[in-house]
């Protein structure tokens, strides 16, 4: 059989069911009844012991949401979501009030162990060697916040962070303990009225992480949150808020997985980043939600709003993402370059296989003077997937000297998939310099034959070509994630060629 | 036992027969030149020996040290010692030549049950090989064939040939796209790799390559068959009289 035909056959048989995080944890949970109403919002707020202002904020968002309609402009297709058929809150039932990690349900601890996430405070992630030249001391530590369905189950290294003045805690706790900070910044980057899914999140978000780094502090370790959707028919609506005060620096990692289920599950998160004068935030994501099976059944609907505000002069926000999971991805981590001389970066690897649909990209909004941004997007489509890059770069009238460089590259594996690039560029200022480059290529039979003639197997050949393709983005990831991401890329593409 | 035996090989591409029963026997230490006009099936022969997908073998055999080569995947054939120097080597952006060669060599060694070479071990070896062929080290750091000139691409092929130490090397139209200086450099590289244990099959349209790589045997292909075989003088004869005389013979 000619190779092209064989590849097509193989791709047709692709088993996306090789998803390795598809197990389910059997624990008792405390759920809100299905459906969404003011009562649901009140229920969640009460569960979290929230102050009245927070409930009001949620209710306002809920009322706003009722007047909105679901966006349809993205290049994704999915059956209508029944918002009344979802549980908006699920929490593992605590046996009693927890005072330390040791009291967490062992089943949940086991779950995180299976996922390879250390909830116990270990200095170095197992199996990862420190990069050459790095200090093997405190900066090798990673503080973890683990969110299980709707609640945060553990946050590690609290004491050490506290000593540095860094606040890293579940947002539900921050609302109670640091209301002044939350009030000041929550919704200041992604307003409650922003878009359908963000507004929904504002009404029903249940947990997520909160980070505040005080002026002049370089956060002593990487901060990390792992999100896990476990419950059936449950949506996950987490909310993350990170504030880097003047002259501070923080690097934050986010990882996501979910069990394998036949039905689709909704994930609508909101992430807000605020960088004040001279502050820098580096936000990295390895998203590996369940992508659905080979027939396109099940998988996570990932509708996420992520935005960073470079509010201060000389501030910098950098997004790096490796997207391999989800049935549908609708996600555009963006930067508002408000401060003069501020800088935004977006580095992305989006891989789609099987029946996955990805519509992802970024927005760089240049408002301040001499602002600069850089976008490097690598889309890889295999199987019957559709992979779209959608980007917006604008320069405001006052944004003199704005500069952007965009490079969007797409790689196709097989001939049943599609890659699309939709860049929007608007310069209202004649001094703006915007560059855009885009390429689409295919792993051709010729490249595969060349590699196999040199002794590589087909899978090794694809892995090598893909890793070469994504190299400049992988280099942006913190080391631990880079290793994980590289593995994930090869797993995601297993069986994508004949 | 012969190193490579092609017996009465019939090959089709998309329902059209390209090779109509080709026979060729190659022993260790021999250099065979295969000449013929465009479309005579020379490149098809090299592709089928190396296992390029897309060709259907309808009859005949290819034996390598008595083993059925057609039953093996391309990477298995490579590990056994079959090397094809490509007419048009591909570019692989983002993958350094160094990394590519290291990965490939270790894949072959693994298939042969040999130990894996560590980075320092490999670096030492590849540097020695590059030096012996006068290939600048700088080439190893660049992406595989990315931005290489025609001559550099061919030298990269010869570097790999030297590094992998194959038993049989098939050189597919090595002279295409090379000026006379680049051709001489490439040919010198090939000559340096001639050895009593190694056989070479040099595929070419023009006689000029054979001024630099002197063959032991010359075979003329026309319309999917070997129509005449002889010594190195046959090439000169062809140069004088052209391929037309064989068109009728086929």
The whole-angstrom distance between B2's CA and the closest CA on chain A is 22
**Which pLDDT score is estimated for A312?**
96
Of A106-120, A258-272, B56-70, which one has max mean pLDDT?
A: B56-70
Nearest by CB: B90 against A447, A455, A470: A447
DSSP one-letter string for A340-403:
TT-EEEEEEEEEE-TT-EEEEEEEEEE-STT-EEEEEEEEEE-TT-EEEEEEEEEE-TT-TT-E
Query: Are A236 and A91 contacting, i.e. CB atoms less than 8 angstroms apart?
Result: no
Least confident piece of the model among A13-17, A319-323, A346-350: A13-17
Residues of B at the A interface, defined by Cβ within 8 angstroms: 14, 50-54, 73-75, 77-79, 83-84, 86, 88-90, 92-95, 99-100, 103-105, 107-108, 111, 143, 160, 164
Query: What's the pLDDT band for A92 if we cut at 50, 70, 90?
Result: low
Provide CB contacts within 8 A for B41, sequence distance 6+: B11, B18, B19, B22, B221, B223, B224, B225
User: Residue A101 above 60 pLDDT?
Assistant: no
Nearest by CB: A455 against B88, B94, B111: B111
Query: Are A345 and A374 contacting, i.e. CB atoms less than 8 angstroms apart?
Result: yes
| A450/B94 Cβ within 8 A | no
What tokens were used for A123? Answer: 């200095």
The whole-angstrom distance between A457's CA and the closest CA on chain B is 6
Please state the rounded mean pLDDT for residues A45-60. Answer: 91
Chain B residues in contact with A449 by the CB 8 A cut-off are: 50, 52-53, 74
Query: What is the sign, positive or negative, of the torsion defined by CA atoms of B151, B157, B163, B169?
Result: negative
Query: What's the pLDDT band for A95 if we cut at 50, 70, 90?
Result: very low
Mean pLDDT for all residues in chain A:
80
Q: Is some CB atom of chain B closer than 8 A to the CB atom of A470?
A: yes
Please state the rounded mean pLDDT for residues A344-367. Answer: 91
Q: Is some CB atom of chain B closer than 8 A to the CB atom of A3?
A: yes
The whole-angstrom distance between B221's CA and the closest CA on chain A is 24
Give the number of beta-carbon pairs within 8 Å between A and B. Answer: 85
Nearest by CB: A455 against B14, B75, B95: B75
**Which pLDDT score is estimated for A133?**
42
Phi, psi (deg, nearest 5) at residue B128: -60, -45
Identify the CA nearest to B186 among candidates B156, B166, B143: B156
3-state secondary structure of B158: helix
The whole-angstrom distance between B217's CA and the closest CA on chain A is 26
The whole-angstrom distance between A483's CA and the closest CA on chain B is 17
Chain B residues in contact with A456 by the CB 8 A cut-off are: 75, 103-104, 107
Residue B172 neighbours by CB distance under 10 Å = 22
What tokens were used for A244? Answer: 């880097």
**Which pLDDT score is estimated for A125?**
32
User: Residue A120 above 80 pLDDT?
Assistant: no
| B90/A464 Cβ within 8 A | no
| A6/B78 Cβ within 8 A | no
**Which pLDDT score is estimated for A261?**
57
Q: Residue A486 to residues A345, B157, B246: CA-CA distances in angstroms?
A: 21, 29, 56
User: Residue A82 above 70 pLDDT?
Assistant: yes
Instruction: State which H helix or E strand residue A129 sits in.
Output: none
Residue of A nearest to B13 (CA): A2
Residue A401 neighbours by CB distance under 10 Å = 17
Question: What distance in Å separates the CA atoms of residue A412 and residue A379, rounded to the nearest whole number?
Answer: 8
What tokens were used for A173? Answer: 């706790």
Length of chain B: 250
Q: Is some CB atom of chain B closer than 8 A to the CB atom of A121?
A: no
A1-34 pLDDT tens trace? 333 344 444 444 434 445 556 556 655 566 777 8
**Which pLDDT score is estimated for A247?**
97
Domain tally, chain B = 1
| A472/B160 Cβ within 8 A | no
Question: What distance in Å separates the CA atoms of residue A41 and residue A45, rounded to the nearest whole number?
Answer: 6
Nearest by CB: A464 against B95, B108, B164: B95
3-state secondary structure of A54: helix
Residue of B nearest to A473 (CA): B94
Chain B residues in contact with A497 by the CB 8 A cut-off are: none
A168-189 pLDDT tens trace? 888 988 999 999 999 999 999 9
The C-alpha angle with vertex B75 and arms to B197 and A11, in degrees rounded to 5, equals: 170
Query: Are A85 and A34 contacting, i.e. CB atoms less than 8 angstroms apart?
Result: yes
Please state the rounded mean pLDDT for residues A262-270. Answer: 79
Query: What's the pLDDT band for A468 if we cut at 50, 70, 90?
Result: confident
Q: Residue A201 to residues A63, A188, A236: CA-CA distances in angstroms?
A: 12, 15, 9
Chain A residues in contact with B89 by the CB 8 A cut-off are: 450
| Cα B18 from chain centroid (whole Å) | 19
| A450/B90 Cβ within 8 A | yes
Bigger pLDDT: A490 vs A164: A164
**Which pLDDT score is estimated for A129?**
34
Pick among B15, B18, B43, B53 to test the A interface (most A CBs inside 10 A)? B53
Question: Please, how many CA atoms are within 13 Å of residue A417, restricted to the half-sphere of its CB?
Answer: 35
User: Residue A368 above 50 pLDDT?
Assistant: yes
In chain A, pLDDT over 90 holds for what percent of residues?
A: 38
**Which pLDDT score is estimated for A20?**
56
**Which pLDDT score is estimated for A140?**
46
Nearest by CB: B75 against A3, A445, A452: A452
| A452/B78 Cβ within 8 A | yes
Residue A335 neighbours by CB distance under 10 Å = 30
What torsion do the CA atoms of A28, A33, A36, A41 make, to the nearest 10 degrees? -70
Domain CATH for B208: 3.40.50.300
**Which pLDDT score is estimated for B52?**
94
Q: Is some CB atom of chain B closer than 8 A to the CB atom of A468?
A: yes
Nearest by CB: A455 against B53, B78, B95: B78
What torsion do the CA atoms of B42, B48, B51, B57 make, to the nearest 10 degrees? 160
What tokens were used for B40? Answer: 């005579």
Identify the CA nearest to A87 among candidates A152, A33, A25, A26: A33
User: Residue A252 above 50 pLDDT?
Assistant: yes
Between positions 407 and 446 of A, the ones with CB within 8 A of B are 444-446
A399-449 pLDDT tens trace? 999 999 999 999 888 888 888 889 999 999 899 999 998 888 888 889 999
| B100/A454 Cβ within 8 A | yes
Chain B residues in contact with A445 by the CB 8 A cut-off are: 53-54
3-state secondary structure of A36: coil
**Interface predicted TM-score of the whole assembly (ipTM), two decimals:** 0.95
B140-159 pLDDT tens trace? 999 999 999 888 999 999 99
Provide CB contacts within 8 A for B157, sequence distance 6+: B85, B86, B89, B174
Residue B94 structural domain: 4-249
Bigger pLDDT: A180 vs A262: A180
**Which pLDDT score is estimated for A24?**
60
Query: What's the pLDDT band for B246 if we cut at 50, 70, 90?
Result: confident
Please state the rounded mean pLDDT for residues A469-493. Answer: 74
Instruction: State the DSSP code for A95.
Output: S
| B74/A449 Cβ within 8 A | yes
Surface-to-core class of residue A400, CB atoms within 10 Å of its CB (0-12 exposed, 13-18 middle, 19+ buried) = middle
**Which pLDDT score is estimated for A343?**
97
Sheet hosting strand B4-13, strand order edge to edge = B16-26, B4-13, B56-64, B67-68
Which segments of A230-298 are extended strands (E)? 239-244, 249-257, 264-267, 270-275, 280-287
The whole-angstrom distance between B12's CA and the closest CA on chain A is 11
Instruction: State the DSSP code for A37.
Output: S
**Which pLDDT score is estimated for A111?**
61
Strand B16-26 and strand B4-13: the pairing is antiparallel
B73-123 pLDDT tens trace? 999 999 999 999 999 999 998 899 999 999 999 999 999 999 999 989 999
């Amino acid at each position: 059989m000619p190779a092209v035909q064989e590849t097509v056959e193989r791709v047709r048989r692709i088993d996306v069911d090789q998803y390795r995080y598809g197990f389910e944890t059997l624990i008792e949970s405390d759920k809100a009844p299905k459906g969404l109403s003011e009562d649901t919002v009140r229920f969640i707020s009460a569960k979290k012991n929230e102050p009245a202002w927070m409930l009001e904020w949620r209710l306002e968002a809920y009322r706003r949401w009722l007047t909105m309609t679901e966006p349809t402009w993205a290049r994704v297709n999915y059956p209508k979501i029944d918002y009344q058929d979802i549980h908006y809150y699920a929490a593992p039932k605590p046996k009693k009030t927890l005072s330390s990690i040791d009291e967490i349900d062992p089943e949940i601890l086991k779950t995180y162990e299976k996922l390879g996430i250390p909830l116990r405070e270990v200095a170095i992630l197992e199996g990862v060697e420190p990069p050459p030249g790095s200090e093997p001391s405190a900066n090798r530590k990673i503080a973890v916040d683990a969110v299980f369905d709707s609640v945060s189950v553990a946050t590690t290294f609290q004491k050490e962070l506290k000593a540095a003045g860094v606040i890293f805690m579940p947002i539900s706790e921050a609302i109670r303990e640091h209301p002044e900070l939350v009030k000041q910044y929550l919704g200041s980057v992604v307003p409650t009225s922003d878009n359908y899914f963000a507004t929904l999140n504002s009404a029903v978000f249940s947990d997520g992480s909160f980070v505040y780094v005080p002026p002049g502090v370089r956060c002593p370790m990487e901060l990390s949150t792992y999100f896990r959707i476990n419950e059936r028919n449950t949506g996950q609506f987490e909310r993350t808020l990170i504030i880097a005060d003047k002259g501070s620096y923080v690097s934050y990692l986010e990882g996501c997985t979910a069990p394998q289920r036949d039905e689709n599950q909704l994930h609508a998160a909101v992430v807000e980043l605020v960088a004040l004068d001279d502050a820098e935030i580096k936000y990295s994501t390895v998203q590996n939600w369940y992508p659905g099976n080979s027939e396109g059944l099940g998988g996570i609907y990932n509708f996420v709003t992520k935005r960073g505000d470079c509010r201060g002069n000389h501030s910098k926000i950098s997004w790096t993402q490796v997207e391999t999971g989800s049935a549908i991805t609708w996600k555009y981590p963006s930067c508002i370059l408000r401060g003069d001389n501020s800088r935004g970066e977006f580095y992305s690897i989006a891989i789609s296989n099987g029946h996955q649909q990805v519509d992802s990209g970024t927005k760089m909004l240049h408002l301040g003077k001499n602002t600069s941004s850089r976008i490097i997007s690598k889309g890889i489509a295999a199987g019957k997937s559709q992979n779209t890059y959608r980007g917006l770069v604008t320069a405001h009238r006052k944004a003199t000297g704005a500069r952007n460089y965009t490079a969007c590259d797409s790689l196709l594996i097989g001939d049943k998939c599609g890659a699309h690039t939709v860049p929007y560029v608007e310069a209202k200022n004649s001094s703006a310099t915007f560059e855009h480059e885009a390429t689409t290529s295919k792993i051709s039979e010729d490249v595969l034959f060349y590699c196999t003639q040199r002794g590589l197997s087909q899978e090794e050949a694809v892995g090598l070509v893909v890793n070469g393709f994504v190299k400049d983005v992988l280099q942006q990831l913190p080391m631990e994630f880079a290793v994980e991401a590289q593995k994930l890329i090869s797993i995601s593409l297993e069986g994508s060629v004949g | 036992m012969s190193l490579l035996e092609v017996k009465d090989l019939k090959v089709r591409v998309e329902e059209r027969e390209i090779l109509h029963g080709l026979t060729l026997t190659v022993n260790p230490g021999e250099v065979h030149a295969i000449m013929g006009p465009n479309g005579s099936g020379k490149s098809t022969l090299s592709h089928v020996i190396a296992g390029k997908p897309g060709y259907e073998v309808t009859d005949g055999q290819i034996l390598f040290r008595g083993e059925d080569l057609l039953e093996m995947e391309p990477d298995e054939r490579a590990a056994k010692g079959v090397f094809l120097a490509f007419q048009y080597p591909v570019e692989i952006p983002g993958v350094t030549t160094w990394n590519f060669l290291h990965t490939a060599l270790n894949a072959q060694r693994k298939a042969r049950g040999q130990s894996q070479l560590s980075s320092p071990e490999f670096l030492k070896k590849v540097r020695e090989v590059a030096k012996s062929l006068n290939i600048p080290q700088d080439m190893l750091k660049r992406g595989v064939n990315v931005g290489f000139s025609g001559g550099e691409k061919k030298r990269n092929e010869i570097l790999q040939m030297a590094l992998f130490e194959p038993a049989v090397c098939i050189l597919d139209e090595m002279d295409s796209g090379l000026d006379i200086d680049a051709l001489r450099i490439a040919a010198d590289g090939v000559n340096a790799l001639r050895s009593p244990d190694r056989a070479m099959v040099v595929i070419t349209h023009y006689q000029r390559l054979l001024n630099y790589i002197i063959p032991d045997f010359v075979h003329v292909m026309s319309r999917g068959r070997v129509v005449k075989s002889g010594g190195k003088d046959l090439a000169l004869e062809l140069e004088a009289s052209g391929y037309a005389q064989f068109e009728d013979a086929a």
